[in-house]
C-alpha cells in the first residue's frame, strides 16, 4: 500500500517555532518578529548588477499550435509560465477563490479548530517552511488533500459543506487533467513519449498521480517592504498550478534577472516546475525558486494545486535525456521520500539527491 500524502509527516513531525497565528488585522505596526533583513534571507534583495532589462515569464495560449514548444522553452529558461485558454471554467476559479476568501475571513479561534497538527498534513496553519527561518511570514495557509469534509466541518455549518466540498472536488479534477496535459506537452517538446515513461500514462483516470491544494492568504500589511509573505522556496512537485487573485505578490527568481514579479492576468493560471520534474528531466527543466510579497492596501489570495506521483513510484531522470556517455544527474526518489528530505533539509533537498559526477 503506497503512503498517501496524509501519512507523509506521520513519524516525521515538523516543529514550528511560531505556530500561533496572530490576528493580523489588529497590528498597525510590523512587529520585530515579522521584520526581515538580508540576515534572515540572503536572497531578500537579490538584484543583478548592472540591473537587467525588465522581462516577464511567458503567457502561453494553450490553443496555439506551437504551445508544446513554447511550454518546453519556458520550463528550460524560467521554470514557470502563465497559461490562457486552459479550459478550466471561469466559475470554478471564482468558486475556489470565494471559498478561500470565506475561509480566511473566519475568526482566528474558528480557524484554529481546524489547525494542522505537527505530524498532520491537512488543515490550517503557518507555512510549513517556517521552521527554517528566524522571522515569521505575513501569511496564513490551509492545506487540503483528499476530502476536505472533516476539516470543513470544524469551520462551517452543515448547510455550506456540500457546496464547498463539491467546489474542491471539481477543482481538483480539472487541475489534475490540466496538469497531465501540461506535463505531456512539455515532455513532447523534449522528444519524450509515453513509451519512455510507462508509469505516467496520460489515460483519463490518472491513477498514478496524487495532489494537494494549498490555500494561501496574505493580509494587508502595514510595512510590506520589510515583511515576507512566503519565503523563497521551490515546490517539491512535478508541477504546481497556481490561481492568484487580482493582487500581485508572486515573484520568481532568475540568476540573471533577480526577482521578477508575475503580474496577475485575469482568467489565466501560473504554472511552476517543481523539483520532481527537474529530476525527471535530468535538470533540463528548472524547478523555479519563488516567493510571495505582501501589499499595504490589498489582501492577496492564492490557491496552489501541488501535483506529483503516487508514493510507490520512483522518479528518476528519463534515460533518453541522459547523455549516452554520461550518468543521470539525480538518484531515484519517491515523492514521500523527497517530501521528508525537504522537511529536514529544505532548499538543499535537491542537491542531496544529486549523483556525484566527475566533471
Q: Indicate which residues carry an active-site annotation.
A: 300
Contact between 130 and ligand AKG by CB under 6 A: the answer reads no
Q: Judged by CB, which is closer to ligand L37FFZMX: 68, or 123?
A: 123
Enter the C-alpha cell of residue 231.
519565503
Candidates 84-92, 97-105, 179-187, 244-252 — which segment interacts with ligand AKG by CB under 6 A? 244-252
The least distance separating ligand AKG from the CB of residue 304, rounded to whole angstroms, comes to: 4
Of ligand L37FFZMX, ligand AKG, Fe ion, none, which one sits near residue 212, judging by CB under 5 to 8 A according to partner kind?
A: ligand L37FFZMX
Contacts with Fe ion by CB under 5 A lie at: 235
* Through-space distance between the first and last CA atoms of the chain, rounded to whole angstroms: 40
State which of residues 180, 186, 236, 244 lies at the interface with ligand AKG (CB under 6 A).
244
State which of residues 93, 284, 292, 315 lies at the interface with ligand AKG (CB under 6 A).
292
Give dist(CA 317, CA 304) in Å, integer: 25
Q: Are the beta carbons of 297 and 324 closer than 8 angstroms?
A: no
Contact between 233 and ligand L37FFZMX by CB under 6 A: the answer reads yes
Q: Which of residues 191-220 bind ligand L37FFZMX (CB under 6 A)?
A: 212, 214
Q: Judged by CB, which is closer to ligand L37FFZMX: 123, or 189?
A: 123
Separation of CA 334 from chain center: 18
The least distance separating Fe ion from the CB of residue 211, rounded to whole angstroms, comes to: 14
Give dist(CA 225, CA 127) in Å, integer: 19
Q: CB under 8 Å to 163, separation ≥6 — which residues?
A: none
Give dist(CA 33, CA 103) in Å, integer: 25
Report cis status (omega within 30 of 0) of the bond before 50. Answer: yes
- Please name every residue paired with 290 in a beta bridge, in sequence order, or none if there are none: 233, 252
Contact between 216 and ligand AKG by CB under 6 A: the answer reads yes
Q: Which of residues 248-307 bind ligand L37FFZMX (CB under 6 A)?
A: 306
Q: CB under 8 Å to 340, separation ≥6 — which residues?
A: 8, 9, 12
Enter the C-alpha cell of residue 88.
478550466
**Size of the residue set binding ligand L37FFZMX (CB under 6 A):** 15
Q: CB under 8 Å to 292, separation ≥6 — which residues?
A: 139, 216, 218, 229, 230, 249, 250, 251, 300, 302
Candidates 55-63, 98-106, 130-138, 242-250 — which segment interacts with ligand AKG by CB under 6 A? 242-250
Enter the C-alpha cell of residue 10.
506521520
Candidates 62-70, 126-134, 172-180, 220-228 — which segment interacts with ligand L37FFZMX by CB under 6 A? 126-134
Of Fe ion, ligand AKG, ligand L37FFZMX, none, which one sits near residue 302, judging by CB under 5 to 8 A according to partner kind?
A: ligand AKG
Enter the C-alpha cell of residue 63.
490553443
Q: Which three-class secondary structure state does DSSP give residue 125?
A: strand
Contact between 290 and ligand AKG by CB under 6 A: the answer reads yes
Of ligand AKG, ligand L37FFZMX, Fe ion, none, which one sits near residue 237, judging by CB under 5 to 8 A according to partner kind?
A: ligand L37FFZMX
Contact between 128 and ligand L37FFZMX by CB under 6 A: the answer reads yes
The least distance separating Fe ion from the CB of residue 234, rounded to whole angstroms, comes to: 7
Q: Which three-class secondary structure state does DSSP give residue 328?
A: coil
State which of residues 192, 250, 257, 318 lies at the interface with ligand AKG (CB under 6 A).
250
Contact between 143 and ligand L37FFZMX by CB under 6 A: the answer reads yes
Helix (H) / strand (E) element for 341: namely: helix 335-345
Enter the C-alpha cell of residue 358.
566527475
Q: Are the beta carbons of 288 and 272 closer than 8 angstroms?
A: yes
Footprint of ligand AKG (CB under 6 A): 214, 216, 230, 235, 242, 244, 249-250, 290, 292, 302, 304
Footprint of ligand L37FFZMX (CB under 6 A): 5, 121, 127-129, 143, 212, 214, 233, 235-237, 306, 339, 342
Amino acid at each position: 500500500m503506497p503512503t498517501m500524502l496524509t501519512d507523509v509527516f506521520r513519524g516525521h513531525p515538523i516543529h514550528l517555532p511560531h505556530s500561533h497565528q496572530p490576528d493580523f488585522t489588529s497590528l498597525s505596526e510590523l512587529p520585530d518578529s515579522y521584520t526581515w533583513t538580508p540576515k534572515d534571507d540572503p536572497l531578500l534583495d537579490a538584484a543583478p548588477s548592472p540591473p537587467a532589462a525588465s522581462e516577464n515569464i511567458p503567457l502561453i495560449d494553450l490553443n496555439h499550435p506551437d504551445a508544446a514548444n513554447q511550454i518546453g522553452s519556458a520550463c528550460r529558461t524560467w521554470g514557470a509560465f502563465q497559461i490562457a485558454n486552459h479550459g478550466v471554467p471561469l466559475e470554478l476559479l471564482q468558486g475556489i477563490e470565494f471559498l478561500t476568501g470565506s475561509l480566511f475571513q473566519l475568526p482566528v479561534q474558528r480557524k484554529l479548530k481546524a489547525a494542522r497538527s505537527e505530524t498532520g498534513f491537512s488543515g490550517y496553519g503557518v507555512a510549513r517552511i517556517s521552521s527554517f527561518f528566524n522571522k515569521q511570514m505575513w501569511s496564513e495557509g490551509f492545506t487540503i488533500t483528499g476530502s476536505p469534509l472533516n476539516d470543513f466541518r470544524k469551520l462551517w455549518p452543515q448547510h455550506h459543506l456540500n457546496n464547498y466540498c463539491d467546489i474542491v472536488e471539481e477543482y481538483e479534477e480539472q487541475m489534475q487533467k490540466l496538469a497531465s496535459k501540461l506535463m505531456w506537452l512539455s515532455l513532447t517538446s523534449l522528444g519524450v513519449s509515453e513509451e519512455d515513461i510507462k508509469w505516467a500514462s496520460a489515460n483519463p483516470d490518472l491513477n498514478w498521480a496524487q495532489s494537494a491544494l494549498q490555500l494561501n492568504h496574505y493580509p494587508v500589511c502595514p510595512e510590506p517592504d520589510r515583511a515576507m509573505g512566503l519565503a523563497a522556496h521551490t515546490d517539491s512537485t512535478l508541477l504546481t498550478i497556481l490561481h492568484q487573485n487580482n493582487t500581485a505578490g508572486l515573484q520568481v527568481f532568475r540568476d540573471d534577472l533577480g526577482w521578477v514579479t508575475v503580474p496577475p492576468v485575469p482568467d489565466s493560471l501560473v504554472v511552476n516546475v517543481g523539483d520532481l520534474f527537474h529530476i525527471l528531466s535530468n535538470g533540463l527543466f528548472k524547478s523555479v525558486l519563488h516567493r510571495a510579497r505582501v501589499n499595504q492596501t490589498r489582501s492577496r489570495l492564492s490557491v496552489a494545486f501541488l501535483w506529483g506521483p503516487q508514493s510507490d513510484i520512483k522518479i528518476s531522470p528519463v534515460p533518453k535525456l541522459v547523455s549516452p556517455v554520461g550518468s543521470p544527474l539525480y538518484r531515484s526518489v519517491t515523492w514521500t521520500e523527497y517530501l521528508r528530505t525537504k522537511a529536514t533539509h529544505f532548499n538543499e533537498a535537491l542537491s542531496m539527491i544529486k549523483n556525484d559526477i566527475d566533471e
